[in-house]
Amino acid sequence: MIERELVKGSPIRGCMARQSKALRGKFRWLGLRIDLGDLSRGSTSKIIAENLPDIDFKLFDSISSESDTLAIIRLKLEYNDYARKKLASNTIIDTLTTSGKIRLVRQLLGLTRPPRK
């Protein structure tokens, strides 16, 4: 008989069923261009947060050049349409593409996956 221990009060791993894919949260990836060059990752996130104050998003990629900045953010599916309209009202931010897969957004923006640290 195999004995199982509880580690730090966590339930035994094999006993809990994982949520099905349909029940997990749905996300969308937005590819953006900000018409300001040489922005740091923090500055990019701050500009997006100022335009989407009531939406929880995560900045995944931020690539700056001298003329503009490309960014990829992830947000919940239910906020997708609202976020696109809100960002479209700003003159310095263009929503270039949206998808359920970050790989496709990166491909359309011409970005490569950054190396893992």
Indicate whether this model's pTM tops 0.85. Answer: no
Between CA 20 and CA 27, with CA 25 as vertex, the angle to 5 degrees is: 130
Q: What is the band of 13 on the pLDDT scale with cuts at 50, 70, 90?
A: low
Q: What is the band of 25 on the pLDDT scale with cuts at 50, 70, 90?
A: confident
For the chain, where are the alpha helices, taking DSSP H only? 41-51, 80-88, 102-109
Tokens linked to 9: 């009060």
Q: What is the band of 113 on the pLDDT scale with cuts at 50, 70, 90?
A: confident
User: Please, what are the domains in the chain?
Assistant: 27-109 (3.30.70.3250)
**Which residues, at least 6 apart from 60, have a Cβ–Cβ distance to it below 8 Å?**
29, 72, 73, 74, 102
Distances (CA, A) of 105 to 28, 49, 82, 87, 100: 10, 20, 19, 17, 9
pLDDT in tens, 34-66: 998 889 999 999 999 999 999 999 999 999 999
pLDDT at 16 (0 to 100)? 75
